[in-house]
């Protein structure tokens, strides 16, 4: 089994103790954290924004974030995420009128650029932007809420995106998010994922170190 990156999603964390939660995740061996931004417009939920990222950074917590923007119009908020400890910003094609322009804006900010594909988003949106991408996020649920079940028909989409990446000869990471647990993670990696985003399965457990190790053991 190939190596993969497990990225905890703090949408499922205990926000009363967010700093401590992040420290526990870092101690468990994770060095990248998924950060979901929802605007109650593009998706039917409202979550957190850049102020939280800046507070984490200002308090000396050394961690990089994989920021997933579920907001429309997305271009209007990109500048709010400048000068933060961000590795990737991922957007949805439906949230901008000019996808290629928005991707270039992200890269000009010094971040890796990603595109998120909802279960019903056609792969044709990748046709003219693959050269600019650093990450493709395949959503295995409809975005908006944590704790949903993995949609099994998304395995076909993961495999298809894997083929497109291989054909492009680009170093693009394939990430999968939604309903991932220790029972399906091995099949997701086999289908072609490089990154798995896990929320509830980690943060609802009583021992993060043990749970993360179980994920890694599941794909041996």
Active site includes 58? no
Active site includes 207? no
Among 36, 66, 134, 194, the one annotated catalytic: 36
Residues in contact with 127: Cβ distance below 8 Å, sequence separation at least 6, in sequence order: none
Q: Per the structure block, which two tokens stand in for 24?
A: 């526990």
Edge-to-edge strands, sheet with 64-70: 5-8, 195-198, 173-177, 135-139, 112-117, 86-91, 64-70, 32-38
Among 39, 66, 134, 177, the one annotated catalytic: 177
β-strand partners of 46: 39
* CA dihedral of 218, 69, 42, 10, whole degrees rounded to 10: 50
The catalytic residue positions are 36, 177
């Amino acid at each position: 089994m190939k190596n993969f990156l497990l990225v905890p999603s703090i949408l499922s964390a205990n926000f009363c103790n967010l700093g401590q939660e992040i420290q526990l995740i870092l101690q468990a061996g994770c060095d990248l954290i998924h950060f979901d931004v929802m605007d109650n417009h593009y998706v039917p939920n409202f979550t957190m924004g850049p102020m939280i990222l800046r507070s984490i950074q200002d308090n000396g917590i050394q961690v990089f974030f994989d920021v997933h923007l579920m907001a429309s119009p997305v271009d209007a908020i990109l500048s709010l995420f400048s000068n933060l400890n961000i590795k990737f910003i991922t957007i949805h094609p439906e949230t901008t009128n000019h996808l290629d322009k928005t991707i270039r804006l992200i890269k000009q900010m010094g971040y890796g650029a990603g595109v998120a594909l909802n279960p019903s988003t056609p792969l044709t949106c990748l046709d003219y932007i693959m050269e600019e991408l650093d990450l493709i996020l395949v959503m295995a649920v409809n975005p908006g809420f944590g704790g949903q079940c993995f949609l099994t028909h998304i395995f076909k989409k993961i495999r298809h995106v894997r083929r497109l990446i291989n054909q492009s000869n680009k170093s693009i990471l394939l990430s999968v998010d939604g309903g991932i647990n220790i029972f399906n993670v091995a099949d997701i990696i086999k289908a072609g994922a490089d990154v798995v985003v896990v929320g509830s399965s980690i943060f609802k457990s009583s021992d993060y170190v043990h749970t993360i190790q179980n994920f890694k053991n599941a794909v041996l």
